Chains A and B, each alone.
Chain A
Amino acid sequence: MHLTQELEVYSDHKVTQLLFKDVKNAAELRQSAVEGKISGALISPTLVLNPFQVLVAANKAVHLQKIGKMKTRSLFSEIIFNLSPTNNISEAFKRFGISDGDSSVLVVLVHNKGNTPPLSDIVSRVNGQQVPVDDLSSLSDTAKIKKFFKITPQEEKIGTLLDAVVCRMAIKDVL
């Protein structure tokens, strides 16, 4: 169900993603994250097309943390910020962080290679149905993604929507 990927650049780090739908306690989950009871990023899947998009954001967050150049206060908020195509932090949280009324949530954990992440703890906290992470695309909204990321029709002709999205995330600091 969950998806774990090694960060090749930071090879002692792994990223694990868990996806839930029909979530009834988004407000409570958000509160738990604020209080540090959940050590992970809680993401609203609407503008997230594919797990790779999250990996790109997580890799960049770990990178910026290592070189001391994060724009936000924690690794998890940095992941959320990196998902956005703009440099507006509050907009990024609004669009990509979970809101109290959300009915689906993507949980992103960053852990050491040797450590097993607290999967069962996360699963027990979420009042909802866990689904395979590859189902992300069925919970996201392609039309909204194209609009928010300003993807042009010409761009879609020469490559995938995912590449168009990821490119903006990777380059946004120098635009």
Chain B
Amino acid sequence: MLLSFLVDTSRCRSLHNRLRETSLRKAEVNMSVERSMEVSQLLAKAELLKQGAEARLYRTRFLGKPVIVKERFSKRYRHPALDEKLTHRRTVQELRAILRCRKAGIPAPAVYFVDHSTHCIFLEEIVDSCTVRDHIASTQQQPRGPEQLERLAEKIGQMLAQMHDEDLIHGDLTTSNMLLKHTVDGAESQLLLIDFGLSYISALAEDKGVDLYVLEKAFLSTHPNTEVLFERLLRSYTKASKKSEPVIKKLDEVRLRGRKRSMVG
């Protein structure tokens, strides 16, 4: 995703500048931070679910419960001290956003344990769930699929409206970062948000508009022929959010900018 890439690097760069003077020196003195060997040993035996660019996800048990461990690892090309700071920051951002969401009634997995020395978060495993991405892909094929997906699009719109009304910007909205938990007895499945490592607090319509633009780009490129479905999502967002008008206006502006940029190359 081109845009999220741009947004991310620009943010990293300003962060880089802010951090450079203060933290590099501090962290260098601090390099001998103790690392927990035991977590690494547990993960070596656990089932690796996903190896991403920033994190590995494992499935294991913790205090008798099924959990997902998200381990952020270091990027070799970054200066070690800066890398440590950034990785820690991502972990902290993810933790704060999860709690903020849950307090506001937006479903997100519970956190059971955090090891800051290895940048591991132990999350409640959402059992019997799949990503919204996989759900849309498989449902699209089915005869009554499109109608079912309309209801889901509306739910996503409502959830994001609620999140933005809390002034939380997700920072990496994609259909892979939403889970659908299937329930027994045919009750409606629960929608959850995950992957808050790039999240931050902002009341600015611009930030919310960009958040939606990131999702739109990801959505339409991952799921072909879903323009109408995404429109439905946005309409439900507009209806549910108290402050949607300036956000949608910004979204339109960002779209225009995106188009101009792609025209010049």
Contact = CB atoms under 8 A, between A and B. Distances in A.
A84 B104 CA distance: 21
A175 B102 contact: no
Main SS class of interface, B: mixed
A62 to B, nearest CB: 9
Contact of A9 (B39, B105, B117): B39
B36 A67 contact: yes
B227 interface: no
B58 to A, nearest CB: 12
Contacts of A63: 36, 38, 113, 115
Contacts of B64: 5, 52, 55
Interface residues of A, number: 32
Contact of A174 (B92, B110, B115, B124): B92
B99 A168 contact: yes
Contact of B103 (A5, A152, A163): A152
B96 A175 contact: yes
B42 interface: yes
A158 interface: yes
B38 A154 contact: no
B103 A155 contact: yes
B35 interface: yes
Interface string B103-127: 1111100111111110000101000
A2 to B, nearest CB: 15
A155 B110 CA distance: 11
B95 interface: yes
A170 interface: yes
B36 A171 contact: no
Interface in B41-93: 42, 60-65, 92
Interface of B: 34-36, 38-39, 42, 60-65, 92, 95-96, 98-99, 102-107, 110-117, 122, 124, 190
